[in-house]
Amino acid sequence: MGRIFSGIQPTGNLHLGNYLGAIRNWVLMQKEYESFFCIVDLHALTILPEAPQLQANIRKAAATYLAAGIDPEKSYIFPQSAVAAHCELAWILSCLTPLGWLNRMIQFKEKAGKEKEKANLGLYGYPVLQAADILIYKGTHVPIGEDQKQHVELARDIAGAFNRQYKVDYFKLPEPIILKTAARVMSLRDGSSKMSKSDPSDYSRIHLSDDPDTIALKIRKAKTDPEPIAGNPKAMEKRLEALNLLGIYAALSDQSLEKVCSEFEGVNFSTFKQRLTEKLVSVFNPIRQKMICYLKDPKTIDAILEKGSDKARSLASCHLNEIKDIIGLLKT
Ligand code: TYM
């Protein structure tokens, strides 16, 4: 049996991109793999969130995982900061990571923008901590959206560097698992940029916590074009926003984009948007209602996080001791 590790930053309400790119896949994969689903709160520190906000967001992320179908009897849910071994391994791995590898990271370039000199060291070293997240559990499969592929590839490179440096076959190289149908959900306002928690416009994304009226409003306001839907995706290549909405519908209804285009050929977007809203509400409303229940019961959330943390801590500390032995540190 393989072992999954994946995580989401608790930097705001989780959205449709997080759901289709990651969580939905986790729910399916947890049946076949031992699964560790982390709330990567240490990564979230790179944007210096307010303390009460961060604490609330950690519990909200846990409630979202649970409401979306992560089963705490099967899988482990925990905050990254509960397991110190992530940071200890990150230091060890940082000593094996050439700066040149980090300089290639697209996400750092995007997040640091023109202010590279002012960006913090945490943001720069972020992918090394991400590699440690996965490798401390000897994770074999990492279900993610397309934007995280480069980071998982770096984790593979770092794992290989460790094995070569210490002449061992300790780390297996983790596989990124990316679902083709929803690898990159785009903003509802701009089909060329990714749907993201950090977009200043709330209308750019659908949150898993949005009520049906809010979903309907956001979809009504979503950018499209006046042309009707074409019978195949190739004919819509340049209509980015239109294609994004069709892709969301396809992913939510487990159909190919080709099938959705042929089903809606000739239909205009005002009609299609109503169908998309119905689909979104039918998937998200039950999740939202379960989330509300969990959030009213923080003791249950905390107990689930504690159980997940205990399991994660014991596996991570066992691996950390093996790693210490390999590299010449004294075991504890
Ligand atoms: P984060 O918090 O940005 O996103 C969490 C997950 O959601 C996916 N995702 C998307 N998928 C499709 N379309 C989108 N618009 C979209 N937006 C986000 C992401 O690909 C991701 O799978 N660095 C990671 C968190 C992390 C991690 C890890 C992930 C830390 N350590 C170890 C896997 C393994 C991040 O910032 O994800």
d(CA 224, CA 229): 11
Ligand 1 and 288: CB distance under 6 A: no
Ligand 1 and 144: CB distance under 6 A: yes
**Do 302 and 285 lie in a common domain?**
no
d(CA 74, CA 62): 15
pLDDT in tens, 25-64: 999 999 999 999 999 999 999 999 999 999 999 999 999 9
d(CA 174, CA 187): 29
pLDDT in tens, 237-252: 999 999 999 999 999 9
Q: Would you place residue 331 in the very low, low, confident or very high pLDDT band (cuts 50, 70, 90)?
A: confident
Residue 183 CA, closest ligand 1 atom number? 12
Q: Mean pLDDT, to the nearest integer, of 208-233? A: 97
Mean pLDDT score across all residues of the chain: 97
What's residue 332's pLDDT? 84
What's the CA-to-centroid distance between 18 and ligand 1, angstroms? 7
Does the pLDDT at position 117 exceed 90?
A: yes
Domain-embedded: residue 240:
yes
Q: Would you place residue 223 in the very low, low, confident or very high pLDDT band (cuts 50, 70, 90)?
A: very high
**Do 45 and 159 lie in a common domain?**
yes
Q: Would you place residue 115 in the very low, low, confident or very high pLDDT band (cuts 50, 70, 90)?
A: confident
User: Do the beta carbons of residue 169 and residue 104 sit within 8 Å?
Assistant: no
**Do 272 and 309 lie in a common domain?**
no
What's residue 182's pLDDT? 81
What's the CA-to-centroid distance between 144 and ligand 1, angstroms? 6
**Do 170 and 289 lie in a common domain?**
no
Ligand 1 and 132: CB distance under 6 A: no
**Do 19 and 141 lie in a common domain?**
yes
Q: What share of the chain is helix, strand, coil (3-state, %, to 5)?
A: 60, 10, 30
Q: Would you place residue 74 in the very low, low, confident or very high pLDDT band (cuts 50, 70, 90)?
A: very high
Q: Which of 24, 36, 144 to mutate to test the pocket of ligand 1 (most atoms within 8 A of CB)?
A: 144
Total domain count for the chain?
A: 2
pLDDT in tens, 179-216: 888 889 999 999 999 999 999 999 999 999 999 999 99
Parent domain of 216? 210-293
What's the CA-to-centroid distance between 324 and ligand 1, angstroms? 29
Nearest one of 8, 31, 10 to 20, comparing CA atoms: 8
Domain-embedded: residue 310:
yes
**Do 61 and 160 lie in a common domain?**
yes
**Do 141 and 225 lie in a common domain?**
no
Domain-embedded: residue 202:
no
Ligand 1 and 147: CB distance under 6 A: yes
pLDDT in tens, 96-114: 999 999 999 999 999 999 8
Which residue lies with its CA nearest to atom 30 of ligand 1? 130
% of the chain beyond a pLDDT of 90: 96
Q: What pTM was computed for the model?
A: 0.97
Domain-embedded: residue 204:
no
CATH, residue 33: 3.40.50.620
**Do 60 and 155 lie in a common domain?**
yes
Domain-embedded: residue 190:
no
Q: Which residues are catalytic?
A: 111, 194, 197
CATH, residue 256: 1.10.240.10
% of the chain beyond a pLDDT of 70: 100
Q: Mean pLDDT, to the nearest integer, of 154-179? A: 97
What's residue 180's pLDDT? 83
